[in-house]
Amino acid sequence: MKTVSSGMSFGVSSEYVEAVTRLFDSSQDPILYVEAWQDVNFWRARFRAEDLIVDAKPYGQDSDANGKPHLINNIENGTIKLGPYLMVALDSDYDYLLGLNFNIYLSEFVFQTYAYSIENLLWHPNKLVELCGKSSNCQDIPPNIPDVIKNWSKAIYPEFVRILKNEPERQELIRALTELLKPDLKFDYSNLSIGTQTVVGSDLFNSKGLTEENVYLFVRGHNYETAAKKLCDQILEDVFLEIKRKLTSQYGANAGEKIKEYRNSRKKITDFIIFEDIECPVCTPLIKRDIQLLKNNYYKTN
């Protein structure tokens, strides 16, 4: 198989990938460069859901560095020449909300998460009850996990909007807001006192899908993932302790083997989350729209 790659001294173009596909290797799918290895499955699945097969791979596999800044720089300087056979998929970070890197996203060959990152979508609160059930091998999971995260979102929303609008050095301030998501389903977020409680000038952000209930989509993904995982880990620990209590009550001194058997049946929540379908009512339709536009314009079938 002929390898399509770019090195430090030369770039790669959509036309080149297409020529390799047509002349040398019909098995070479259109290339989709992503930021890192952990992004590959997500974007491959998004394209497959629209009946398109792409060779999703981190740019660092074919170049000297990974990461969004490197990708954007090489698009701008012409090292990467985009087209239907060579595309790029990026985490939006704050680009979508704030209109940053607008010239890059104008290209129909550049895709984005619209949420801050893939992690925000993988840990979407609508999926966490089901994921905790799979991980714990138990369906007796508190159903209010999404409500808890939405209550946290409502509590931090005014300050989040203020920071987005007014604070150029926003990452640390927003990280502090994210850490207010507690691993406690009974925590009362109505008692939190966080900066401003008056929302000013949020119309632009609202038009892009940000609401008081979904700030979790737009905070830094790594920080949200950490907080959401702590919440789920605490739920899983509570489930384990409750099942252990029931088994001990039922089997008494002979419960040890039953408890061990149950413990061994459990899996890490991260073993499931990367393979889950992503159904975010804000971001999924936008991602689908972009891929379908590409499909209709360049991959029509008779």
Which helix (DSSP H) or strand (DSSP E) does residue 110 occupy?
strand 110-112
* Arithmetic mean of pLDDT over the chain: 88
Local structure of 263: helix, strand or coil = helix
- At position 37, the amino acid (one-letter code) is W
Q: Which among 113, 77, 100, 103 is positioned nearest to 282, based on CA atoms?
A: 113
Banded model confidence at residue 149, pLDDT cuts 50, 70, 90 = very high
Is-contact 278 126, C-beta < 8 A?
no
Distance CA 226, CA 119 (A): 10
Banded model confidence at residue 9, pLDDT cuts 50, 70, 90 = very low
pLDDT at residue 104 is higher than 70:
yes
pTM exceeding the 0.75 threshold for the entire prediction: yes
Question: Could you read off the pLDDT of 173-198 as tens digits, one per residue?
Answer: 999 999 999 999 999 998 887 876 77
14 or 212: whose pLDDT is higher?
212
Local structure of 201: helix, strand or coil = coil
The DSSP code sequence of 91-107 is --TTHHHHTTTHHHHTS
Distance CA 168, CA 158 (A): 17
| Alpha helices, DSSP H, located in the chain | 14-23, 40-48, 68-76, 95-98, 102-105, 118-122, 125-136, 145-166, 171-178, 203-207, 221-251, 255-265, 270-273, 284-298
